């Protein structure tokens, strides 16, 4: 199966594992200062580890989707480098302005989900741009998209620029798929 659903489910499974790691972290902190310290120590490696796994899954998925679409040539998708995905910024923002630890926990989980999903999205998007047999990439919804995403999906655009960004909010179920 090379549907976007399979990749989405695989990436979701990685997010669940990351959330499990995070819940252990939250159990060990009782103050904002301790949370900040623990997040600073943990988040960069956590996002990098699961982000790289998501990128690797996405590259494999791309290659399989390519074969299934009957696209010729020897192109291989490449996982993006997941480096400096803004983990300190996320931690600082989640704990800023006297937010409670419960609020911070929700915000961090959302930010981590978006960063892991982005690793897969940008792997597919950049490989689609680099692939001489692909026209570019398009946005694919998960069947329960919000108004913002439904509007973007409705455009049905095929993005052909390497610089095109993937607009996504926390917990967004949208993914990228190659347009062959």
Q: Structure tokens of 78?
A: 């490449």
When asked if residue 77 is in the footprint of Zn ion (CB under 5 A), the reply is: no
Minimum distance between the CB of residue 39 and Zn ion, rounded to whole angstroms?
Answer: 25
- Closer CB to Zn ion, residue 124 or residue 149? 149
Minimum distance between the CB of residue 33 and Zn ion, rounded to whole angstroms?
Answer: 34
- Closer CB to Zn ion, residue 123 or residue 175? 175
Among 7-15, 68-76, 94-102, 170-178, which window interacts with Zn ion (CB under 5 A)? 170-178
When asked if residue 146 is in the footprint of Zn ion (CB under 5 A), the reply is: yes
Minimum distance between the CB of residue 145 and Zn ion, rounded to whole angstroms?
Answer: 5
Q: Are strands 175-179 and 136-140 parallel, antiparallel or unpaired?
A: antiparallel
CA angle 148, 152, 126 (to 5 degrees): 120
- Closer CB to Zn ion, residue 126 or residue 139? 139
Minimum distance between the CB of residue 147 and Zn ion, rounded to whole angstroms?
Answer: 8
Helices and strands, counts by H and E, the chain: 5, 3
**Rounded Cα distance, 1 and 14, in Å:** 19
Q: DSSP letter string over 88-108?
A: HHHHHHHT-TT--HHHHHHHH
Strand partners, 175: 140
When asked if residue 149 is in the footprint of Zn ion (CB under 5 A), the reply is: yes
When asked if residue 172 is in the footprint of Zn ion (CB under 5 A), the reply is: yes
Size of the site for Zn ion (CB under 5 A): 3
| Number of residue whose CB is nearest Zn ion | 149
Report the site for Zn ion in 105-134 (rule: CB under 5 A): none
**Rounded Cα distance, 119 and 168, in Å:** 12
Residues 6+ apart with CB under 8 A from 172: 114, 117, 146, 149
Using CB under 5 A, list all residues that contact Zn ion: 146, 149, 172
């Amino acid at each position: 199966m090379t549907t976007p659903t399979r990749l989405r489910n695989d990436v979701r499974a990685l997010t669940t594992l990351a959330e499990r790691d995070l819940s252990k972290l939250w159990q060990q902190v009782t103050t904002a200062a301790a949370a900040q310290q623990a997040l600073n120590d943990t988040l960069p490696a956590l996002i990098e580890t699961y982000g790289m796994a998501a990128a690797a899954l996405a590259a494999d998925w791309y290659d399989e989707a390519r074969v299934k679409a009957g696209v010729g040539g020897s192109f291989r998708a490449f996982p993006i480098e997941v480096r400096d995905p803004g983990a300190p910024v996320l931690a600082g923002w989640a704990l800023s302005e006297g937010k409670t630890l419960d609020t911070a926990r929700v915000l961090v989980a959302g930010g981590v989900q978006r960063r892991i999903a982005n690793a897969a999205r940008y792997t597919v998007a950049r490989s689609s741009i680099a692939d001489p047999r692909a026209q570019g990439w398009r946005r694919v919804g998960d069947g329960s998209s919000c108004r913002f995403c439904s509007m973007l999906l409705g455009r049905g655009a095929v993005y052909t620029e390497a610089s095109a960004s993937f607009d996504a909010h926390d917990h967004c179920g949208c993914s990228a798929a190659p347009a062959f």
